[in-house]
Chain A
Amino acid sequence: MAGTPGPDPPADGGGEARPAWDSKLQYLLSCVGFAVGLGNLWRFPYLCQTYGGGAFLIPYVVALAFEGIPLFHIELAVGQRLRRGSVGVWTAISPYLGGVGLGCFTVSFLVSLYYNTVLTWVLWYLLNSFQHPLPWSACPLDLNRTGLEQECRDSSPVSYFWYRRTLNVSADISDGGPVQWRLLLCLAVSWAVVYLCVIRGIETTGKAIYFTALFPYLVLTAFLVRGLTLPGAMQGLTYLFTPDLRVLQNPRVWLDAATQIFFSLSLAFGGHIAFASYNPPRNNCRRDAVSIALVNSMTSLYASVAVFSVLGFKAASDHGQCLDRNILHLINAFDLPEQSVSRDTYTAALVRLNASQPAQVAGLPLEACRLEDFLDKSASGTGLAFIVFTEAVLHMPGAPVWAVLFFAMLFSLGLSSMFGNMESIITPLLDLGVMPRRVPKEVLTGLACLLCFLMATCFTLRSGSYWLEIFDQYAAALNLILLAFFEVIGVVYVYGMKRFCDDVAWMTGRRPGFYWRATWKVVSPLLLLTIFVAYIALLASSPPHYKAWNPRYERFPSRQEKPYPGWVLAACALLSFLPTLWVPVVALGQLLARCREKTRDPPQDGRPKPRGGRAC
């Protein structure tokens, strides 16, 4: 944008001006939507619950202050200043660092594939929520119509619907099985919706984001209000938020807090760089970074309160049903009048009967019903959304309405994150000029979505969910940490701290203070390196295995732990290192190209002429 001449504005390549946000709000909502995703809902509450409730907030805030916000500020500042997508930005900083951008691009591509598959599952559940009774409330009959389907009877209707009716999961990862046509249809619709919103880049996502970023907050509030009025909610909240400060001694807690902040803010994808590149050059990116990071964390907290209140209700309801089953056994065995034993008098009655007729009591199949056991049943990820929460929704009055709201919320949460992912793929492609200028943007986005859809069909196989876990664990985690490390090092040491601080001062009007400089120079890189090493140590400590759903397993419905076969391990290794491999490959390539140039044209005036920084 030719206007106030800043220090060396980069050429936009002539032709059309860069697209811009309609308003600051659109930009903020897009970043918030990208950062706030499914993980805020189903990973953070689980971590809170596992790591001593409120005590987990301490390492979380520490990680936010020393890792999350500084890295986020770097991404926004770099994108806004250099006004290019991830590939262009890193190539502009230094041609040797072009691989970082390509690595981010590859990781975004891999993540888009499996992230939209999760949205496919959410869409399938959403489509099935428009009926009463909900299809996961009861087991289907078996072939003879004499009883219930055995697999469902042994596990539960909710698990059966998830593993059999939705995924139709195979018992082993090598057993691929045919493509599930239902999931394929839902996958097609998911990608069609993504294409519809991303079709013209930020022009269309900017309109869609108003709905997809704000709708989840409405639904969360509805769930919060409803959840708090349900019986058992307060017990759930107090139990799950009571801090247990002893967990802070466990280094695993700090590692998980750091990784949670990192992935929660969607750093190192290149999406924030792409979003910031459409900003006007003089925009206070520091304030944006801090506010978006805080909004993201507040959303996580808000979501956990809503989730915990519903889970507390579910635990209380399950506990009550457990007691009811025991009471029924007692009154049936001893022919006591109906409703003579209530939930409160159950223990007294049991003691009395045990004293008088211990042999008969011992023969009854009584379960041990403790509320804490039900509250401790925690789950994260797909287990929380598709098994635990769907079961909780069954007990709520007006279950189909709540199911529709819940899955619509999940879908829009995931969709707004997909916008960021697709932007981090499309913006670099546009900047690199992959397609000739005459070809409209719609064709490029269409081709990108089509390619992703075709490749994602492998997740609709019967073993698709196992592959998704692999992608989630290996393709994303390690690469993002390494790429973020290279990002910080690249900006601070290659671009130069002084030059970067000058740029930030020009953009925001104030030079970065001591906190920023200290975290960028020392704290964040060290933290990232520590996380990387700890992560590798954790992965190497146990041979990689997965949990298979095998109805023929002796301890069914527990999932059977199986090791990965050799070829799958090779695929894991490939996924873990391929994206980051771009960094040394491009650096070496540039080095070789320079050496060849130097030997071919010896410099005339003894001074090597630095050429343009495009990697192409």
Chain B
Amino acid sequence: MLWLLFFLVTAIRADLCQPDAENAFKVRLSIRTALGDKAYAWDTNEEYLFKAMVAFSMRKVPNRETTEISHVLLCNVTQRVSFWFVVTDPSRNHTLPAVEVQSAIRMNRNRINNAFFLNDQTLEFLRIPSTLAPPTDPSVPIWIIIFGVIFCIVLVATMLLILSGIQQHRRKNKGPSEMEDIEDKCENVITIENGIPCDPLDMKGGHINDAFVTEDERLTPL
């Protein structure tokens, strides 16, 4: 008689947890993808931990503080590793509504992930969407900083070039207006030969000798 009762209870309990049952969720883990060599094997102890995490999440929901590990049922564990789970109420006859389970899991998703060293992509709760992380934008976009640096460098360099150009212009205007040599880049070097500076021999203040006509003026231009 007792055995019959036991079988009846397990049969009812088995009915509660089935693929695509009401209020049941499918979970899929990708342990080897996440951890590579450090992957652990999925055994009954890990299942126990999972049940504990789900029970923990449910206990945080008001009115469900009495959820026990035995209320969480797992079934259809495959090699993939994937399985279905339901959470029953204390009477073990009904399953808790999917909405409650969903919100409980979402609230504690991070802790459940961390317990298994996984993340949202490798520990999937199908039909429970995860909240996406907010974008981590810095207060000042990086491109503006680099832009500011480049702009300042270019501005300073341009100013320097313009200023040096103005200085060169002024030097050129002051100096060779008396020299007859029109070609620029001619420096006023005072050469000293035999101890006598050649300065007095310079043509500073001299006259253009009209006997020597430059080549350009003699030939007809094109």
A contact residues vs B (CB 8 Å cutoff): 2, 5, 8-12, 14-17, 92, 124, 127-128, 130-131, 140-141, 145-147, 185-186, 189, 192-193, 195-196, 199-200, 204, 331-332, 335-340, 440, 442, 612-613
Contact = CB atoms under 8 A, between A and B. Distances in A.
B31 interface: yes
Nearest to B143: A127
Interface in B124-146: 129, 131-132, 134-135, 142-143, 146
Nearest to A2: B215
A335 B29 CA distance: 11
Interface string B93-129: 0000000000000000000000000000000000001
A192 B132 contact: no
A92 B33 contact: no
Contact of A339 (B33, B143, B146, B155): B33
B154 A193 contact: yes
Contact of A196 (B28, B161, B184, B221): B161
B222 to A, nearest CB: 5
A338 B31 contact: yes
Interface in B148-195: 150-151, 154-155, 157-158, 161-162, 165-166, 169, 182-184
A17 B222 contact: no
A119 to B, nearest CB: 13
Contact of A200 (B154, B161, B214): B161
Given A185-B147, A335-B80, A336-B79, A145 B134 contact: yes
B39 to A, nearest CB: 8
B222 A8 contact: yes
A357 to B, nearest CB: 15
Interface string B200-217: 000000000000001110
B215 A5 contact: yes
B32 interface: yes
Contacts of A335: 78-80, 82
A10 B216 CA distance: 8
A440 B166 CA distance: 9
Contacts of A128: 142-143
Nearest to A131: B142
B184 A440 contact: no
A440 B222 contact: no
Contacts of A189: 147, 150-151, 154
**Most A C-beta atoms less than 10 A away, residue of B79, B131, B166, B183:** B79
A141 B80 contact: no
5 closest cross-chain pairs (CB), A and B? A335-B78, A127-B143, A335-B80, A337-B79, A338-B32
A140 B143 CA distance: 17
Contacts of B31: 338
B66 interface: no
A507 B32 CA distance: 74
B216 A14 contact: yes
Contact of B162 (A9, A92, A199): A199
Contacts of B79: 335-337, 340
A338 B132 contact: no
11 contacts: A9-B215, A14-B216, A15-B182, A17-B184, A124-B143, A128-B142, A196-B154, A332-B80, A336-B79, A337-B80, A338-B33
Given A141-B135, A337-B80, 14 more contacts: A11-B222, A189-B150, A192-B155, A195-B158, A332-B28, A335-B82, A336-B79, A337-B81, A338-B80, A339-B32, A340-B79, A440-B166, A442-B162, A442-B165
A10 B154 contact: no
Contacts of B151: 189, 192
A10 B220 CA distance: 9
Contacts of A336: 79-80
A11 B82 CA distance: 90
B71 to A, nearest CB: 26
B11 interface: no
A140 B137 CA distance: 11
B31 to A, nearest CB: 7
Contacts of B32: 338-339
Contacts, number: 98
Given A15-B182, A338-B30, A8 B216 contact: no
Given A192-B154, A196-B158, A17 B135 contact: no
B142 A130 contact: yes
Contacts of B154: 189, 192-193, 196
A340 B33 CA distance: 12
A17 B158 CA distance: 25
B219 A2 contact: no
A16 B221 CA distance: 18
B135 to A, nearest CB: 6
Nearest to B32: A338
A147 B132 contact: yes
A440 B165 contact: yes
A612 B134 contact: no
B222 A92 contact: yes
**Most A C-beta atoms less than 10 A away, residue of B31, B129, B222:** B222
Contacts of A92: 222
B147 A141 contact: no
B128 to A, nearest CB: 13
Contacts of B215: 2, 5, 9
A542 to B, nearest CB: 40
Contacts of B158: 192, 195-196, 199
B22 to A, nearest CB: 22
Contacts of A130: 142-143, 146
B165 A11 contact: no
Contacts of B219: 8-9
Nearest to B138: A131
A192 B147 CA distance: 12
Nearest to A194: B154
Given A141-B135, A146-B132, A196-B157, A16 B184 contact: yes
A615 B28 CA distance: 82
Contact of B132 (A127, A145, A612): A145
A11 B30 contact: no
Interface in B8-55: 28, 30-33
A511 to B, nearest CB: 23
A199 B161 contact: yes
Contacts of A331: 80
A193 B78 CA distance: 63
B134 A141 contact: yes
A2 B216 contact: yes
A10 B222 contact: yes
Contacts of A11: 216, 221-222
A262 to B, nearest CB: 30
A131 B135 CA distance: 14
A97 to B, nearest CB: 13
Contacts of B131: 145
**Most A C-beta atoms less than 10 A away, residue of B135, B143, B150, B161:** B143
A44 to B, nearest CB: 30
Given A141-B135, A612-B222, A440 B169 contact: yes
Contacts of A145: 131-132, 134
